[in-house]
Amino acid sequence: MVTIRCNCFKQSLTKVGTLSAVLTSLILFSFSSANACINPLKGKAIQGGLIIFKAENASHIKLDGRAVSINKENGFVVGFHRDDVDLRTINAHCQDGTEFKLNLVPEQRIYKTQKISGLPNNMVTPPAKILNRIAQDSELVKQARSQKGTSTDYFISGFDWPVDGVITGVYGSERILNGAPRQPHFGIDIAAPTGTPITASAAGTVVMAKDLYFTGWTIIISHGDYLSSTYSHLQDISVQLGDYVNRGEIIGVVGSTGRSTGAHLDWRINWLDKRLDPQLIANKHP
């Protein structure tokens, strides 16, 4: 009988030939070794979720057959997109010579529908002459989010809420703007008065500090292991591209720049192109 416990995953694994157990919230773990040389520290397999693993005694770790890079603290992360349903498999060699296998099936969620009317039509359907700028903006955002970042545990103590305010929009909701269905919303909207300070959710490097068409003044911070946080619609920013920021450091103030109907912060967390749900990942709401 092997029991592994941590406060994030209520789990109890029993050896029956091959170790296997179906965990709460549809997380399926199967171990071909009694030694779990890879351990989940935080998070769970759920759409929009992030799992932080420690791999103290493992090498050659692969996620779905592709090599995973381990950071200096022997950690690595796995994130799940809004609509991910596929099984993800982690394989590794343990130091004791055994092979480790872990299957992750993301728990599926039901998302809200959010209707927003009264937006200026040129913001919902941008004029043709602005399409180039929008394409450039999105390429820059993609580049910023594709940076691996410094490999260190900037995010190991989680992500702090960047501003105190009222949540007016949630992750994953389907959006109907001026009556027309659009891309789902991937951020958390936090309404707060214009000028309210916004702080970095975790330490990292500023990989974008720019005024964009849709998101107005936008800051992206890279936290390492391809994890980034994005802050949009700022009235003003107080950091520059390349700056290192500490957790809790002021990076700008709340505004309503870009496509926005009022003063709020749109806060996002990405793992490469996987869009994660800050509400699942963040530390306690203030």
Interface residues toward Zn ion, by CB under 5 A: 169, 187, 189, 266
Q: Are 19 and 32 in contact (CB under 8 A)?
A: yes
Complex with Zn ion: residue 225 or 266, whichever CB lies closer: 266
Q: How far apart are CB 188 and Zn ion at their closest, in Å?
A: 7
Helices (H) then strands (E): counts for the chain: 3, 24
Q: How far apart are CB 7 and Zn ion at their closest, in Å?
A: 31
Q: How far apart are CB 173 and Zn ion at their closest, in Å?
A: 10
Work out whether strand 174-177 and strand 113-116 pair parallel, antiparallel, or are unpaired: parallel
Q: How far apart are CB 147 and Zn ion at their closest, in Å?
A: 23
Complex with Zn ion: residue 189 or 225, whichever CB lies closer: 189
Task: Name the nearest CA neighbour of 170 among 32, 18, 45, 48.
Answer: 48
Query: Edge-to-edge strands of the sheet including 236-237?
Result: 197-199, 250-253, 236-237
Complex with Zn ion: residue 43 or 278, whichever CB lies closer: 278
Q: How far apart are CB 266 and Zn ion at their closest, in Å?
A: 3
Complex with Zn ion: residue 11 or 169, whichever CB lies closer: 169
For the chain, how big is the Rg over CA atoms in Å? 20
Complex with Zn ion: residue 137 or 266, whichever CB lies closer: 266
| Residue number of the CB atom closest to Zn ion | 266
Complex with Zn ion: residue 189 or 277, whichever CB lies closer: 189
Q: Are 12 and 27 in contact (CB under 8 A)?
A: no
Q: Write phi, then psi, for 27 (nearest 5 degrees).
A: -85, 125
Task: Name the nearest CA neighbour of 234 among 264, 213, 205.
Answer: 264
- Per DSSP, the three-state class of 99 is strand
Dist CA 220 CA 213 (whole Å): 15
Q: How far apart are CB 274 and Zn ion at their closest, in Å?
A: 18
